[in-house]
Amino acid sequence: MTDSAGPPGRPPSVGARITLDIERAAHGGHCVGRHDGRVVFVRHALPGERVEAVVTGHGAKARFLRADAVTVLVASPDRVDAPCSHAGAGGCGGCDWQHASRGAQLAIKGEILREQLHRLGGLDEVEGVALAESVSVEAVPGDVDGLGWRTRVRYAVTAEGRPGFRRHRSHGTEAVERCPLVTDAVDAVGATRLTWPGAEEVEVVASSGGDRAVQVEPTTASRTTGLDRDVAVRGLRGRTWVRELAGGREWRVQSSGFWQVHPGAPDALVAAVREALDPQPGEHLLDLYSGVGLFAGCLAADLGSESRIDAVEFSVDACKDARRNLHDLPQVRIHQGDVEAWLGSGAVDTVDLVVLDPPRSGAGAAVLDHVLDLAPRAIAYVACDPAALGRDVRFLHGAGWRVASVRGFDLFPMTQHLEAVALLLPAG
């Protein structure tokens, strides 16, 4: 390795150019290289490459560096031309892996999922099969090139009122007129071809049920001119909710509320949870972090009318939507509140099955402790952060539970994000 940035041992300053051999991909949308014994987290590179990189920052006490690859000296066979001109060093921070082939993106995400399960979860294998053979990340059915999947997108807005995306680790915004990740329906709303003076964010939704909505922060910067008449504008006109389709049902979801962004995601996750839990008629299911009721509503068909399903969700609006979405399923009870507090209240003594779909921070020890007290026969853990899944798996393992399967899903192609569904069973 060469260094034009100063004597060995002292960290090169921000802006210095260094040459790096790239070792592997890491959680966070970057790769790992080394410079004078220091770890360097390098964006826009791929494992096996040699790159020239510009130092963009230092970690605490300069124990590690951040850098952007700017010239590829030895390219990986997995490298492709990024489909978007805004991707790359200094550009839009929304995507991390546009320069990797789709196959390589899935392989990288699989590696990261396995690494987090091993390092944070303490897992070496799943049911006697090494992680390398038992855990991988799959594309969503129907996804071909990883483009055109975003049904919900939140744009940052430049000082001139133009929508775009934040640059990586920056408050600066790159104006982007056509993001290749959004669906044609989101693009057709036309929000990026308008200016939004005074706005900080503009969120656009084009739902699978055919509804279109725009939400602006602050709402005083909203406008209707230039938008088609059917586009709802929160605070100015139209409904506050959109219709989504999944599991053969229609779902009402607040346009600002939680719903999976990839149109293939809800069905893929429901199928994985169903396969993992194998719900039987009459069983009692707990759907924790239930949103507008996706898992409760879809698994109700398997569990039947003699079953009981308790769904627990914090958001008042999501609970209202869930009650409406599931009004035809008398076996479902929706509980509005904090999951930990609800479990701690002793509302249920035992359950058969649990779906856990927590936010990025994970469920955590206190919630898991309560869940284990209910002695379920199986837990399906739906995770949007593999690190949180790893930490919670370690806790469950320590409490005598075992991981029986893990499936990863690329619900966010081109980006660093991945989703996983893990089945946990009592050991023995």
Query: Which of 357, 385, 410, 419 lies at the binding interface for ligand SAM (CB under 6 A)?
Result: 357
Among residues 17 and 243, whose Cβ is nearest to ligand SAM? 243
**Cα angle vertex 216, ends 213, 222, to 5°?**
95
DSSP one-letter string for 383-400: ES-HHHHHHHHHHHHHTT
Residue from 28, 80, 314, 348 binding ligand SAM (CB under 6 A): 314
With CA atoms as reference, report the closest residue to 395 among 423, 367, 421.
367
Q: Which 3-state string (H, E, C) describes 295-353?
A: HHHHHHHHHCCCCEEEEEECCHHHHHHHHHHCCCCCCEEEEECCHHHHHHCCCCCCCCE
Nearer to ligand SAM by Cβ, of 258 and 395: the residue is 258
Contact between 381 and ligand SAM (CB under 6 A)?
no
Tell the smallest beta-carbon distance from residue 370 to ligand SAM (Å).
Answer: 12
Which member of 78, 313, 385, 410 binds ligand SAM (CB under 6 A)?
Answer: 313
384 given a catalytic annotation: yes
Give the amino acid at 80.
V
| Cβ atoms 205, 255 nearer than 8 A | yes
How many whole angstroms separate alpha carbon 406 and alpha carbon 391?
15
Q: Which is nearer to ligand SAM, 120 or 339 (CB)?
A: 339
Of residues 131 and 329, the one with the C-beta less far from ligand SAM: 329
- Least separation in angstroms between residue 297's CB and ligand SAM is 10
CA–CA gap between residue 154 and residue 392 (Å, rounded): 30
Residue appearing with tokens 């169903």: 274
Q: If 0-12 CB within 10 Å is exposed, 13-18 middle and 19+ buried, where does residue 173 land?
A: buried
- Would you count residue 91 as binding ligand SAM (CB under 6 A)? no
Shortest distance (Å) from residue 357 CB to ligand SAM: 4
> What is the β-pairing status of strands 173-175 and 129-130?
unpaired
290 is a site residue for ligand SAM (CB under 6 A): yes
291 binds ligand SAM (CB under 6 A): yes
Cis, peptide link before residue 266, omega less than 30° from 0 = no
What tokens does 341 get?
């507090």
Region near ligand SAM per CB under 6 A, out of 133-141, 168-176, 306-314, 343-351? 306-314
- 8-state DSSP, 153: E
The least CB distance from residue 359 to ligand SAM, in Å, is: 5
| DSSP symbol at 127 | T
**Window of 17-25, 182-190, 227-235, 309-317 that interacts with ligand SAM by CB under 6 A:** 309-317
Question: Which residue among 136, 224, 240, 315 contacts ligand SAM (CB under 6 A)?
Answer: 315
Q: Does the footprint of ligand SAM cover residue 98 (CB under 6 A)? A: no
Site string for ligand SAM, 257-276 (x = CB under 6 A): -xx-----------------
Determine if 311 is a binding residue for ligand SAM (CB under 6 A). Answer: no
CA distances from 265 to 100, 231, 317, 420 (A): 22, 24, 22, 11
Phi, psi torsion values for 392, nearest 5 degrees? -70, -35
Choice between 91 and 358, CB closer to ligand SAM? 358
Torsion 338-341-347-348 (CA) sign: positive
Amino acid at 358: P
Quick one: which segment of 177-185, 271-279, 310-318, 344-352 binds ligand SAM (CB under 6 A)? 310-318
Residue with nearest beta carbon to ligand SAM: 291
**Residue of 226, 359, 398, 400 interacting with ligand SAM (CB under 6 A):** 359
Among 106, 339, 353, 383, binds ligand SAM (CB under 6 A): 339
Instruction: Give the range of 71-79, 221-229, 312-320, 401-409 binding ligand SAM by CB under 6 A.
Output: 312-320
CA distances 183 to 36, 152, 418, Å, are 44, 9, 19
- The minimum distance between CB 108 and ligand SAM, in angstroms, equals 23
The nearer residue to ligand SAM, 26 or 388, going by C-beta atoms, is: 388
**Shortest distance, position 375 Cβ to ligand SAM, whole Å:** 22
Q: How far is the CB of 316 from ligand SAM (least distance, A)?
A: 10
Which of 84, 95, 298, 384 is flagged as catalytic? 384
Beta strand 129-130 pairing with 125-126: antiparallel
Cα–Cα distances (Å) from 143 to 94, 219, 294, in that order, read 19, 35, 21
Q: Is 318 in the site for ligand SAM (CB under 6 A)?
A: yes
User: Which residues are near ligand SAM by CB under 6 A?
Assistant: 258-259, 289-291, 294-295, 312-315, 318, 338-339, 357, 359, 384
Q: Which residues are catalytic?
A: 384
